[in-house]
Structure formats: C-alpha cells, structure tokens
Structure 1
C-alpha cells in the first residue's frame, strides 16, 4: 500500500533528524542543527542521493544522473544514483568522495574526505565495494573492487584496499593489510596511528 503524502513528508523529516543526530555524534565541530543543515556538503550529497536513487530505481536514469551531477558540482561528493546507501551515513568534509554505481553501504558508516569506493572492472557486474554497517574509512582511502568491509571495520587514511577486511578489523597501508581486530574486538584501534 502506498503511503500518503503526509506520511512521506514525516518520514523525510525523521530521516533528516536522524542524519543530524549522526553528524553530532561523529563530528565534534557539529554543534548547531541549523548550521549543519545549511553547511554540511556531506549531508547535502546524501540527501540528494536519496532522491536520485529513487529516480534511478524507477527507471528515470537520465534525470537521476543529472541530479547526481548537480550535487557533485555543488558538494564535491560524487555518489552514483545506483549506489545503495543505508541510514545515518555521514561524510565528514566531503570533498573528493566518490561512491560507484554498484557500491552497497550499510547503516552508520562514516567516510572522511577523498575516499573512493571504486571499481576495478569494466564489465557490467558487481564491481564496487560492499561496506557493512558501522565501518569508518579514513581520509584519502581507496577501496577498490567488489571487496567486503566487514561490520565495524576501519580503514586507515590513504590505505588502498583490494581484499576483504574482516568485521572489527583495521586495514592500513598500500596495499592495505589487516593490523588489528578479531582477537580483541572490544579494542578500538585508531587507523591514523598506522600512517
């Protein structure tokens, strides 16, 4: 059964509130809802993506791509309208982030600026990463190909990930290797210390 217009508006308002709360949790500089609402390019990019993704899913591919291109021009964040992104997704700073067409992103994921979730194939197959819930990806990191970043994994700044990263692990370096996680899942490793 289709939702009535008022229910859709209320759902959108609830989603915006959820995104603002996520920004407060993840960004110590985010202190005022109005300022975040008006000035966060990462949030503007994801809000626009949600509209573009709906258009894409309904077969309105060209309008979806045009909308995504407009968001890229304004925010510096490029999210393909075909990418599937979960709730409370947060991009801190945003500039230079790229999320490819077949990328799948879970809930409560955080990306810093310059992150690429890119492909390694020209074939029309699943060619972009799957990022499970609770993952944090550091500035400038590249996650390439149909790899899986397990739930709660972390990727260090400027790492290049071309293999799966287990849940709760930290991957750093070029090419990225797993440095922490697994045996001590309660210990949160700061990926920046491995840079």
Structure 2
C-alpha cells in the first residue's frame, strides 16, 4: 500500500495529538487535556477504545509491532473491540459504540470518521492462497459507517460517504454517496458532494 493513501496526520501526529483530536470529537468546543480525557474515560467507552487504538498505531509506526499486538487483547477485554495493529487512522476518529468493532491490520482511515457499534473492516480472504494478497479498506474523510456494517477487502470509501447500518460493502463507494443493503447499493447523496452531483 502506498503512503499516498495514508492520511498525513496518521503518519506524523504524536500519541497525544491523536488522542486529543479524538477527544474533541466527543466534546466539541472543549479544550483537550490529559485530565479531561481521564475524567471522561468512565463515561465514554469509545474514548477508552481510542486510547488503545492510538497506542497501537503509534507503537506499530515506530516498529514496536509485538507490543502493539499485545494491546489488541487489552482492547478486547476493556471495550470488546478487536483492533488489529498497523491501521493508519487520521485525526478525530470517533467510535460511538466500540463493542463489536473489528478492524484489520491494513485499514486506512481519513480524518473525522465515525463508526457505530459492531462495524467490521475485514479482509477478503481468511487465508490467502498462492498469489492472493490480503487487502483492506481505505476510508476517506468525514465518512460515517452505521452499526454492524461490513466492509470487505480493499474497498475504497470516498470522502463524506455514509454506509447504512447492516450494509455489506463489496465494492467502492463514491464520495458523498449514501449506500445501504447487502450488497450495499447507492440510495442517495450527502455533504458537499450532493451539490456537485445535483
């Protein structure tokens, strides 16, 4: 996967900057600090999941993959989310309800993305054979993914798209599209893209 698809913020921001950007999604207009983050952890399980995910992200980025993999179990125990290390996630990621969220190792997510509960970003193959290469989803900026949606393989989700609850995404989703169903099909548009396509 080329680094062009990876958000610059995922490559360069520190653990603190990433966690604080996530906190600001939960508490818009509030100034982030470690004290405020810690005080909100008991009532915001998504923020607790964010701490684990961001620690994994920064550790994997620095080459400490084994330690990042060990945090995967911590995420499962604390919030019921299975977070594979090696994901590249931009600033302001919001896990509204982290229980049941499963994300694979190579997922790339842009800025200000929201996941509801039970979202799965899965590889297309459980055990790649021969020339098969495991691919993971690439998700643009400001995307909303509804509860229990499944993104399969190397699909690309464009900026400002919305994936409906319980949808199964097997192919790319254009920017600004609203998709639903199994398999997911376009049912509408949202965001700035709506004006361009109207």
Cα distance in 1 for partners of 2:65, 2:38 equals: 32
In structure 2, distance between residues paired with 1:79 and 1:55: 13
Partner of residue 4, structure 1: none
How far apart in 1 are the matches of 2:144 and 2:39? 24
SS of match in other structure, 1:139: coil
> What residue is the counterpart of 1:75 in the other structure?
79
- How many residues align? The count is 171
From the superposition, tell whether residues 80 and 184 of structure 1 become closer, same or farther in structure 2 (CA, over 3 Å). closer
Structure 2 residue runs of 5 or longer lacking an equivalent are: 1-13, 29-35
Structure-2 change in CA distance of 1:12 and 1:119 (3 Å): closer
Q: Shift in Å at residue 93 of structure 1? A: 1.5
- Once superposed, what is the RMSD of the aligned Cα atoms? 2.4
Larger RCO (CA under 8 A, 6+ residues apart): 2
- Of stretches 69-78 and 155-164 in structure 1, the one that deviates more from structure 2 is 69-78
Among 36, 42, 45, the residue aligned to 2:49: 45
Given candidates 19, 23, 42, the residue that maps to 1:20 is 23
1:180 to 1:91, Cα distance in 2 relative to 1, 3 A: same
Check conservation: 1:150, 1:167, Cα contact below 8 A. Answer: yes
Give the secondary-structure state (helix, strand or coil) at the position aligned to 1:152. Answer: coil
Query: TM-score when scaled to structure 1?
Result: 0.78
For 1:88, the equivalent position in structure 2 comes to 92
Equivalent in the alignment of 1:142: 150
Residue aligning to 1:153: 161
Query: Which residue does the alignment assign to 1:167?
Result: 175
Unmatched tracts of structure 1, length 5 or more:
1-10, 26-31, 188-195
Question: Quick one: distance in 2 between partners of 1:96 and 1:186?
Answer: 35
Task: Provide, for residues 82-108 of structure 1, a one-character-per-residue CA deviation record: whole Å limited to 9, x for no partner.
Answer: 111111000111100011111100000
8 A contact 1:110–1:137 mirrored in 2? yes
2:135 alignment partner in structure 1: 127
The answer to whether the Cα contact below 8 Å between 1:138 and 1:156 also exists between their aligned partners in 2 is yes
Deviation of the 1:47 alpha carbon: 1.6
